[in-house]
Amino acid sequence: MSDYVNVAEIFGEDVFNDTVMQQRLPKKTYKELKKTIEDGKELSLEIADVIAHEMKEWAIEKGATHYTHWFQPLTGVTAEKHDSFITAPKEDGKVLMSFSGKELIKGEPDASSFPSGGLRATFEARGYTAWDCTSPAFVRHDAAGAILCIPTAFCSYTGEALDQKTPLLRSMEAINKQALRLLRLFGNTTSKRVTPSVGPEQEYFLVDEKKFLQRKDLIYTGRTLFGAMPPKGQELDDHYFGTIRQRIAGFMKDANEELWKLGVSAKTQHNEVAPAQHELAPIYAQANIAVDHNQIVMQTLKRIACQHGMKCLLHEKPFAGVNGSGKHNNWSITTDDGINLLDPGKTPHENVQFLLVLSCILKAVDIHADLLRESAADPGNDHRLGANEAPPAIISIFLGEQLEDVLEQLISTGTATKSIKGGKLETGVRTLPELAKDATDRNRTSPFAFTGNKFEFRMVGSRDSIAGPNIVLNTIVAEAFKEVCDVLEKADDFEMAVHDLIKKNCAEHQRIVFNGNGYSDEWVEEAERRGLPNIKSMVDAIPALTTEKSVKLFEEFGVFTRAELESRVEVKYEAYAKAINIEAKTMIDIASKQIIPAVIKYATSLAGSINSIKAAGLEEVSVQSELLTETSKLLKEAKDALAALIEIEKKAVSMEEGAGQARYYHDTVMPAMEALRKPVDELEMIVDKEMWPMPSYGDLIFEV
């Protein structure tokens, strides 16, 4: 790649975006498609044929040979099956390139191996994929050549969602409908659509590829299962926002260029807290596009890292002892004409609407804290949430001093009359003090923080799709909006009714607001007193999906049916069990074939040295003897722990799949893994580095 990049020129060059469509599609077709995109109207096959043809021509000009319906099954990653554009050879032996409307709208991957949680019996195992025309198609260039990727939803033949996209689109529809009702009540007659906007900040680690390849644990599980802490960790905070090293900078440059071409507005990059940890944030986009873009970001980071001789680790906790990685899901609700419902606004009128919206969010998050927590649960995130690291597993909302003060006044007196910053409040709830944006966001310990004109949900795992958290956010807020609209549409005195609802929501759900230090032990106790759930692990979180409260919520808004929720529960228990099982087996493999043999070699060399010293007639062997005793003791400990883990893993595998098995992995297999890791990490500090069979933490995170 050349050094000079004209970002404006390359941005979106591989995307079948609005500009391209305007240029290439007949006017009528373009209009029809826009209507479909804007009003969610169905696309006729006739129109689809025209679009497909133009899309294919455009993609072929970009070098594309294949197309794929790019979808997001319940594996957490994207899936694709490539079909080339070629038709059957004609008599002259030549082929044509074709792509029909039918092929564009609908695909039929024989996708029976994707997790479906019992939704599909094998005889009807085929699912179908349907184009999400609100997320633009793009051409991706990689070693496979160029592929036209069509963002897609994935369903069973009977229409049940088998993916992340379908329920996300449904939840967007739910919040659109309820938010519009609310806006109309406040006299807005112009906005046509309300969409959740999402900006995910993505954290990741980069390590040297050669070292990575010497670590079976990284290869198989994405995280280190053994490893003693190096002399230096992150205690100096010298990595955070530090100068980006040249090798990393080169990687970032290429990653940005790739992302820009794909229309992903990569905006911010910096070093994160842990050594070798970095972050990339795009400019926010509408939720379904943000979800797709985040998948593209993760894939691109991985691909470009390889081109630079590195590996990108997206696991939530690749290294014990230093910070793990997450994804801050910034979320707001915006109208098509640019009104952000989470913006406090300038007029008294806007302020009242804002306070009502805010009070609805307090209510939604308080009532459905368990669902939000669940949406951030994955096996990797268990090492962060609730495990002495950011953020805590308890859901609470940070509002900032000013807003919290306003709320308190509303609750105690029913009217907010002053602000602590001295800005003037007029009558009632009618005017909020000008909120200084800086004053609202500097609590990094809160899992759900109001940051000026959006909420930042900080629990999400770095490797996970952000679809889950946004499905929950959209739906729970839709519910709270619906409940106030039901009252307000019937109210005689609108102003009074709004006022009462704000007060009621705030008073009833004030317990969810917490501005203090979310990492402290006192908070854990305080939260318990308040009755807030503290859900420590994925296994504990999963049942939230199928409580009566959850089924009622999701069914009411048409986001999930009970059967879909039940299937997801099944898929998640299974995914958890499988992930931990792979980790356990990897530990067994590494300990048996690499570590124990290496330690024995070291012990043998010590014994040899003791013997030769004695043979030379010298007596002073106490150092070697001490080391040998210590090594042998730890070796025995490791061997016993290994034997125990092997037994436990066998039992786990033999169990019936489901909640019981997942719990066994959590309660029994994980501790057995810990028990093996402990002596091995101690051995690493004793054994000759030359003999240790894999790169150390120091090698991995300080020598990238």
Q: Site residues (CB under 6 A) for ligand ADP?
A: 197-199, 201, 281-284, 330-332, 340, 451, 453-454
Measured distance CA(172)–CA(145) in Å, rounded: 34
Measured distance CA(426)–CA(348) in Å, rounded: 9
Measured distance CA(261)–CA(362) in Å, rounded: 39
Residue 454 binds: one of ligand ADP, Mg ion, none (C-beta under 5 to 8 A by kind): ligand ADP
Nearer to ligand ADP, 198 or 259 (CB): 198
Residue 323 binds: one of ligand ADP, Mg ion, none (C-beta under 5 to 8 A by kind): none
Tell me how far, at minimum, the Cβ of 390 lies from Mg ion, in Å: 13
Residue 135 binds: one of Mg ion, ligand ADP, none (C-beta under 5 to 8 A by kind): none
Residue 197 binds: one of Mg ion, ligand ADP, none (C-beta under 5 to 8 A by kind): ligand ADP
Nearer to Mg ion, 340 or 624 (CB): 340
Pair of tokens at residue 378: 């994955």
Nearer to ligand ADP, 78 or 332 (CB): 332
Tell me how far, at minimum, the Cβ of 328 lies from Mg ion, in Å: 5
SS (H, E, C) 285-339: EEHHHHHHHHHHHHHHHHHHHHHCCEEEECCCCCCCCCCCCEEEEEEEEEECCCC
Tell me how far, at minimum, the Cβ of 180 lies from ligand ADP, in Å: 18
Residue 282 binds: one of Mg ion, ligand ADP, none (C-beta under 5 to 8 A by kind): ligand ADP
Q: What is the largest CA-CA distance in the chain?
A: 105
Measured distance CA(128)–CA(691) in Å, rounded: 53
Tell me how far, at minimum, the Cβ of 269 lies from ligand ADP, in Å: 11
Measured distance CA(80)–CA(68) in Å, rounded: 6
Q: What is the DSSP string of 39-103?
A: H-PPPPHHHHHHHHHHHHHHHHHTTEEEEEEEB-BTTSS-B---EESBPPP-TTS---B---HHH
Contact 393/408 with Cβ under 8 angstroms? no
Tell me how far, at minimum, the Cβ of 177 lies from ligand ADP, in Å: 20
Contact 421/539 with Cβ under 8 angstroms? no
Residue 704 binds: one of ligand ADP, Mg ion, none (C-beta under 5 to 8 A by kind): none
> Which residue minimizes CB distance to ligand ADP?
199
Contact 619/664 with Cβ under 8 angstroms? no
Q: What is the DSSP string of 531-585?
A: T--B--SHHHHGGGGGSHHHHHHHHHTTS--HHHHHHHHHHHHHHHHHHHHHHHH
Tell me how far, at minimum, the Cβ of 515 lies from ligand ADP, in Å: 17
Residue 340 binds: one of Mg ion, ligand ADP, none (C-beta under 5 to 8 A by kind): ligand ADP
Tell me how far, at minimum, the Cβ of 451 lies from Mg ion, in Å: 6
Nearer to ligand ADP, 116 or 451 (CB): 451
Q: 138 to each of 69, 216, 379, how far by Cα in Å?
A: 11, 35, 31
Nearer to ligand ADP, 225 or 466 (CB): 466
Nearer to Mg ion, 135 or 330 (CB): 330
Would you give the end-to-end CA distance of the chain in angstroms?
22
Q: Which residues sit at the interface with Mg ion, rule CB under 5 A?
A: 328
Measured distance CA(552)–CA(565) in Å, rounded: 11
Residue 573 binds: one of Mg ion, ligand ADP, none (C-beta under 5 to 8 A by kind): none
Tell me how far, at minimum, the Cβ of 396 lies from Mg ion, in Å: 17
Q: What is the DSSP string of 260-289?
A: HHTT--EEEEEE-SSTTEEEEEEPPEEHHH
Residue 262 binds: one of ligand ADP, Mg ion, none (C-beta under 5 to 8 A by kind): none
Residue 283 binds: one of ligand ADP, Mg ion, none (C-beta under 5 to 8 A by kind): ligand ADP
Nearer to ligand ADP, 438 or 548 (CB): 438
Nearer to Mg ion, 385 or 569 (CB): 385
Nearer to ligand ADP, 215 or 384 (CB): 384
Tell me how far, at minimum, the Cβ of 550 lies from ligand ADP, in Å: 25
Tell me how far, at minimum, the Cβ of 455 lies from ligand ADP, in Å: 8
Nearer to ligand ADP, 282 or 461 (CB): 282
- Which residues 6+ apart lie within 8 Å of 523 measured at CB? 392, 394, 514, 516, 517
HSE value, Cβ hemisphere, 13 Å, CA-based, for 560: 30
